[in-house]
Amino acid sequence: MERNEQPHEEAEETLDQINKKTGRNMPQAIATGAALVILIVACLLLSVDLFVLLVVVFMILALWELRVDFATVGLHLPVFMLWLCSSFTLIATYYSPYHLITMSLSIIVSIILVAIAASAKISVGNRLSLAVAGKLSNTDASARLESSFNHEGGEQHHSRLSHVAVSVLTVLYIPLLASCVIISLTFNGHPIAHAIMLVFLPALSDTGGLFAGAWLGKHKLSPRISPKKSVEGLVGSMLFAMAGAFAVFACTYDASKWATRWWVPIVAGILIGAVGTFGDLCASMLKRDIGIKDMGHLLKGHGGVMDRVDSILMSAPFTCALLWITGL
């Protein structure tokens, strides 16, 4: 009996060590990741329009998470106006024949409308208060102490300009960057390959960084912002993204494209690995400044939606530009 229990205990200890080093519940993270992959691939295979709708849904969830996160420090986001403007921006960008012009005009109008709504600071119902209370109760006291806001002083009060500033930042962070994912579906006739490049390669890069950092990470990349990030993890992110890019290119393009653009997967891997890691660091810096551990709790083992899409959003314009410039 003891012999049977010993391997089980050793496996649990090993799993606990991996969870501690990665900062995640790895079985939950793997299960959630697999479910997301199946969902995204199913949408792409059924219809690109479904994929666009899925991007809109994830954006709506991400905006709600940001609203709750900023509300913990007394900053107000006009979430209903953000939902309306952001959904219109993504859908209009995809269906308009003038994709880039439509996206640009929609973002400009969104900034104006969101800024006006933020200055009004209108809040309806108590759902936000309940969400904020739940967020604060699940946040470690140490994280709150590291925040640049005075959490011990009760409710935070900010100027109207502060509310407008974070709202405009949100427009530039989520709908603008998400529009680059939508734009990539509209040129050169490879929407599925482009969607896989922009969505799955940053996720694959994150996976590579996670495993390389967990097993080989010794040199900290930015200890103050994200203690678990390492130089070895960054290299792993680039290599995994590069391998994924080569796989996508092999399944998509013919020999004539490979003859002249064999270098594109290498550049894509380096870009996605570097920019995606930078996106993770930006999100970590934001969380540290606000005083929270995760952006949300909707994705088991991953935290919130924003914790999953930060690297996707940050690398989207670079990958989209690379595909458009190279004619792929």
Tell whether 257 is covered by a domain.
yes
Contact 28, 301 (CB under 8 A): yes
Q: CA angle 52-310-181, nearest 5°?
A: 30
Distance between CA 71 and CA 131 in Å, rounded?
Answer: 9
3 domain-assigned: no
| 120-157 per-position pLDDT tens digit | 866 555 555 555 555 555 555 555 555 555 555 445 56
Length of the chain: 328
What residue type is 155 in one-letter code? E
pLDDT of residue 302: 54
Pair 228, 22: CB distance under 8 Å? yes
Q: How many C-beta atoms lie closer than 10 Å to residue 283's C-beta?
A: 24
How many of the other CB atoms lie within 10 Å of CB of 61?
17
Torsion of CA 108, 109, 114, 117, to 10 degrees: 140
- Tell me, yes or no, whether 78 lies in a domain: yes
Distances, alpha carbon 246 to alpha carbons 200, 230, 262, in Å: 13, 25, 9
How far, in Å, are 131, 202, 275 from residue 269 at the CA level? 38, 9, 10
Listed in sequence order, the residues at least 6 apart from 323 whose beta carbon sits closer than 8 Å to its beta carbon are: 184, 187, 188, 194, 197
Structure tokens at 113: 């409308």
Closest CA to 252 of 177, 179, 323, 178: 323
For residue 53, what are the contacts with CB-CB under 8 A and spacing of at least 6? 43
- Most distant CA pair in the chain: distance in Å? 70
Q: For residue 13, is it within any domain? A: no
3-class secondary structure for the chain? CHHHHHHHHHHHHHHHHHHHHHCCCHHHHHHHHHHHHHHHHHHHHHCHHHHHHHHHHHHHHHHHHHHHHHHCCCCCCCHHHHHHHHHHHHHHHHHCCCHHHHHHHHHHHHHHHHHHHHHHCCCCCCHHHHHHHHHHHCCCHHHHHCCCCCHHHCCCCCCHHHHHHHHHHHHHHCHHHHHHHHHCCCCCCCHHHHHHHHHHHHHHHHHHHHHHHHHHCCCEEECCCEEEEEHHHHHHHHHHHHHHHHHHHHHHCCHHHHHHHCCHHHHHHHHHHHHHHHHHHHHHHHHHHHCCCCCCCCECCCECHHHHHHHHHHHHHHHHHHHHHCCC
The whole-angstrom separation of Cα 287 and Cα 142 is 13
Residue 167 covered by a domain? yes
In a domain, 23, yes or no: no
pLDDT the model gives residue 1: 46
Spans of the chain below 70 pLDDT: 1-29, 121-157, 217, 223-225, 227, 295-303
For residue 97, being part of any structural domain is answered with yes
* Strand pairing category for 220-222 and 226-230: antiparallel
**pTM for the structure as a whole:** 0.82
- Structurally, the chain folds into a number of domains equal to 1
Residue 22 covered by a domain:
no
Instruction: Give the residue numbers spanning the domain of 94.
Output: 28-325
